[in-house]
Amino acid sequence: MKEQNPSNSYIMPIKTAIIGASGNVGRYLWRSYREAFPDCVGTSFSNPGDGLTFFDIRKPDLAALRLEATGHKAILISSAKPNIGYCEEHQEAARAVNVEGTLELIRQAGRTSLQVIFFSTDYVFGNRPGPHDDDEAPRPTTEYGRQKAAVEEAIASLAENHLVLRLSKIFTAVKGDRTLLDDIASSLAAGRVVRAARDQIFCPTYVEDLVQAVGGIQAKGLRGRMNVANPARWSRADAAIAMAKAMRVDPSLVEVISLYDIPSMAGRPLDTSMACPRLIREVGPTFQPLETFIERVAANWAIQ
């Protein structure tokens, strides 16, 4: 069942097609728009699902989706190859999706009446200390960040009516979906050691809060670029320690490390936390605290 953010009032959604509606983030957005518009288009690539339309962003054919004819006002691009390791190891394959295909889709959408909403990432910021502001220039240190920054840079020349929304780590409270808190809790429940970096700082954001924030941004008719995250800054280590406490497991199961103790993390930015002044000023969404979800996810994995 859909979980609502009780502190946000209902906003009439704008009919929006979701490219990448089979993904971890896209599926929640699509479900939300479908409540108001049952024929709202959602696409998938390798994971077909009920009501989803196949779409390969590497060979995008926007016209085939008939979005304007069916009353859509916006297209939200949630399709990507967002795995950071994958982007490093398969740069060309990732670029075909994250940059080339995405830019071609934006080019096609720019010739229509649709607003283009593009999900970017906190990984566009480099190794300067956070929190990073809406207007801070991208200085990516990873291939994933560089690919997202390339789209950020080109989008204005392709689609006048666009939004670039930079997300931080998105999580749910669903047992078993391996998002941030579930991943930590499942390991602790199994008695496995969780290695968590004290110097990896981000802004974990509950997925339904993101859905509400996107709706609020659209309802206000905003354009341009903004950070969209719960502004509360967390280290991965603090999140893991809080989870161990909530689950009442042996605290030594959390091994506090530095991110660069893990060789494969070399080059990753340490502090991707974001300030969201534009979002707060213009939309004023309410983000639910991470502590609430730590309790809820701990309960999912309660040890009998």
Ligand X SMILES: NC(=O)c1ccc[n+]([C@@H]2O[C@H](COP(=O)([O-])OP(=O)(O)OC[C@H]3O[C@@H](n4cnc5c(N)ncnc54)[C@H](OP(=O)(O)O)[C@@H]3O)[C@@H](O)[C@H]2O)c1
Q: What angle do CA 288, 136, 291 make, to 5 degrees?
A: 15
Closest CA relative to residue 230, chosen from 270, 293, 290, 174: 290
- The contact pattern for ligand X, residues 56-95, with x = CB under 6 A and - = no contact, is xxx-------------------xxx-x-------------
Distance CA 182, CA 294 (A): 9
Distances (CA, A) of 80 to 60, 166, 229, 249, 258: 13, 14, 19, 36, 28
76 versus 249: smaller Cβ distance to ligand X: 76
62 versus 253: smaller Cβ distance to ligand X: 62
Binding-site residue total for ligand X (CB under 6 A)?
24
Task: Give the shortest CB-229-to-ligand X separation in angstroms.
Answer: 9
User: What would the two tokens of residue 203 be?
Assistant: 């802004």
Task: Give the shortest CB-75-to-ligand X separation in angstroms.
Answer: 13
- The letter for the amino acid at 298 is A
Closest CA relative to residue 18, chosen from 49, 8, 9: 49
Q: Does 279 bind ligand X (CB under 6 A)?
A: no
The Cβ-side half-sphere exposure at 289, using a 13 Å CA radius, reads 4
Assign 192 to helix, strand or coil.
coil
The secondary structure of 206-240 as a DSSP string is EHHHHHHHHHHHHHTT--EEEEES----EEHHHHH
56 versus 255: smaller Cβ distance to ligand X: 56
- The contact pattern for ligand X, residues 144-173, with x = CB under 6 A and - = no contact, is -----------------------x-xx---
- The contact pattern for ligand X, residues 100-129, with x = CB under 6 A and - = no contact, is -------------------x-x--------
Q: Does 25 bind ligand X (CB under 6 A)?
A: yes
Q: Does 276 bind ligand X (CB under 6 A)?
A: no
- The contact pattern for ligand X, residues 197-236, with x = CB under 6 A and - = no contact, is ----------------------------------------
- The letter for the amino acid at 59 is K
Kind of pairing, strands 201-202 and 234-235?
antiparallel
**Nearest residue to ligand X on Cβ basis:** 23
Assign 185 to helix, strand or coil.
helix
Q: Quick one: which of 67, 76, 87, 97 contacts ligand X (CB under 6 A)? A: 97
User: What would the two tokens of residue 115 be?
Assistant: 């607003």
Q: Quick one: which of 47, 70, 127, 286 contacts ligand X (CB under 6 A)? A: 47
Assign 284 to helix, strand or coil.
coil
Q: Does 274 bind ligand X (CB under 6 A)?
A: no
Q: Quick one: which of 8, 14, 17, 22 contacts ligand X (CB under 6 A)? A: 22
Distance CA 77, CA 118 (A): 5
Q: Does 260 bind ligand X (CB under 6 A)?
A: no
Task: Give the shortest CB-83-to-ligand X separation in angstroms.
Answer: 7
Q: Which of these ranges, 38-46, 61-69, 193-201, 252-260, lies near ligand X under the rule CB under 6 A?
A: 38-46
Q: What is the CA radius of gyration of the chain?
A: 19
25 versus 276: smaller Cβ distance to ligand X: 25
Q: By CB under 6 A, name the binding residues for ligand X.
A: 20, 22-26, 44-47, 55-58, 78-80, 82, 97, 119, 121, 167, 169-170
